[in-house]
Amino acid sequence: MDLDQELELPAEARALLDAVVAIGSGLDLRGLLTRIVEASCRLTDAEYGVLGIVDDEGDFIDLVPNAAVGEQFDKIGMMPKGHGLLGLVPRERRTIRVDHVAEHPVSSGSFPKSHPVIDRFLGAPVLVRDTAFGHLYLGNKRGGVEFTATDQALVEALARAAGTMIDNARTYEQVEWRRRWLAGTQEVGRDLTGTASVEDAVDELVESLRELCDARLVAYVRVDAGLLEVQQVAGDAEAAPRVVERYGEQIREATSSRMPERVPHDHHRTTLVVPVPTRLAGPGAILVEHAEETPSLRDIMLDLVSVTATQLGLILDRGQALRERAQLLVARDRDRIARDLHDLVIQRLFATGMQLQGARGLDATELRTRVDGAIAELDGAIGELRSVIFELGTESGRPLLDDVRTLLAEYAPVLGFQPLLRIQGPVDRALVPEAGAHVLGTLREALSNVARHAGASTVTVEVTASSAWFRLRVIDDGAGFDPTTVTSGSGTGNLRSRAESLGGHLLVTSAPGQGTTLEWVIPAVG
């Protein structure tokens, strides 16, 4: 045979080769699935085509239609349940060809509203490594004719080729996702002993996760005796308290069981709640809300978010260890200073005693003068030293946030529910102790006002610190009130006086039936 002679292939074989080449033109999984459906319709001259993707239990989790039924598909508004012919294909794991759908024994004979009426049917499983990835369904061959045995053979061949291509596309998507995850997280938290802080590292980590998962919101939530503390947020910060409260049960369950939770949504969207394992920093969880979780990323996304949670736990533990080390060094210095002061007092008392003992031979007047002077000097020195020693020995150095958490836990039984705490910025380093006492007094009075007057079902406490300002905000969803008809004597006068005495201000926003927001702001220098 002349090698230059053009090789003639049957039309069906050439069409199949063209289809295989067309669907394999890219590694984007969604685009690949769409090309599979379109190529199947062209091969068989089918009017309608859809690829149903299933999960590990065989339930449909997504449908990829051809262009001809895309608009109708959106109007149907429901996912197939696997009944009738749609369920026959996965049950028998083989190609099913039906000439008249209404006459088939398993057909229900009816279609959902807005669904095109199907008379001719051709369905084939799409397997990836002998596991069902989905099922290809074709309906109504153009011209009203029946699907042929050739159509069936072409679809079966295309489904086998598609399985291999889907496997490659899934592998590529997983590798690419891992690469992006490594690029976004590998450097986070390495410089905690240098200029970087724990807050900066956690901010960077949650922001990286939000971008990687294409999530609406990512938050690190600390759980302390049932109290949810929103410590870092990437995404819609204003919506964070509501979102965290919505998934509060899953967050508490995940931190208690140390098992991640998945809350699936429609259209490849899911919410992940992953516990953060720690040894020093206390329990917490990462909330990844409305992440884009494609079928190929379902398991790998949860695994890598869990790895990120472990990385976050190490960062938090390292930061806590550094804080405890600093506190230990301070405590050692305080003990040393107290010991030195005690030694100084003893030595001065001893020296003064020796001076007095040596004054026995002096006349009465001179002796009285010397003794009175020594007594006055010693009384003053001892009083001053006693004050310093007392302060060194009794000051706890307790962080402001610890006192805030204790206060919220104290008010949970009074309110009838656990308030939500949200923290932003270096709160524990923003104020001097005297100003911190005013913060606690203000928070106590604000919570008391909510308990007495609001009738609220939720309260969010936001504590925010920047380089210039410290802000305490208490938000409730209670009855609210009309500020123009309520005087400052109704519980806000004292709060306003506290703020103004420190150079700050108070702002109360409310309306009947819309809850109340109390914002108390003072300079960060205290």
SS (H, E, C) 484-497: HHCCHHHCCHHHHH
Q: Which residues pair with 221 in a beta bridge?
A: 230, 285
Is the domain defined by 191-395 classed in CATH 3.40.30.10? no
Decide if 50 contacts 37 (C-beta within 8 A): yes
Decide if 166 contacts 126 (C-beta within 8 A): yes
* Sign of the C-alpha dihedral computed for residues 102, 107, 111 and 116 taken in this order: negative
Q: Measured between alpha carbons, how far is residue 416 from residues 331, 440, 459, 478 in Å?
A: 39, 20, 11, 13
Query: Domain limits of the chain?
Result: 11-178, 191-395, 400-523
Q: Which residues pair with 463 in a beta bridge?
A: 423, 472
Helix (H, G, I), strand (E, B) or coil at 295: helix
Residue 224's Cβ-count burial label (10 Å; 0-12, 13-18, 19+) is middle
Buried (b) or exposed (e) across 432-458, using 16+ Cβ within 10 A?
Answer: eeebbebbeebbebbbebbbebbebeb
| Residue of 481, 428, 470, 472 lying closest to 447 (CA atoms) | 472
pLDDT at 309: 85
- Give the class (CATH, top level) of 11-178: alpha beta
Distance separating alpha carbons of residues 107 and 241, to the nearest angstrom: 49
pLDDT at 3: 42
Q: What pTM was estimated for this model as a whole?
A: 0.61
Positions in the chain short of pLDDT 50: 1-5, 9, 194-195, 393-396, 490
Distance separating alpha carbons of residues 282 and 316, to the nearest angstrom: 9
Locus of tokens 């199947």: 40
Please check whether the two domains, 11-178 and 191-395, share a CATH topology. yes
| Residue of 172, 144, 167, 176 lying closest to 36 (CA atoms) | 167
Distance separating alpha carbons of residues 295 and 275, to the nearest angstrom: 23
Distance separating alpha carbons of residues 188 and 467, to the nearest angstrom: 23
Residue 64, H or E segment: strand 60-65
Decide if 135 contacts 126 (C-beta within 8 A): yes
Identify the CATH assignment for 400-523 out of 3.90.1150.10, 3.90.420.10, 3.30.565.10, 3.10.350.10: 3.30.565.10
Calculate the dihedral angle through the C-alpha atoms of 404, 406, 407, 411, rounding to the nearest 10 degrees.
140
Decide if 174 contacts 300 (C-beta within 8 A): yes
pLDDT at 308: 83
| Residue of 456, 472, 326, 465 lying closest to 407 (CA atoms) | 472
Cα 208 off chain centre by: 12
| Residue 469 dihedral angles phi and psi, to the nearest 5° | -130, 155
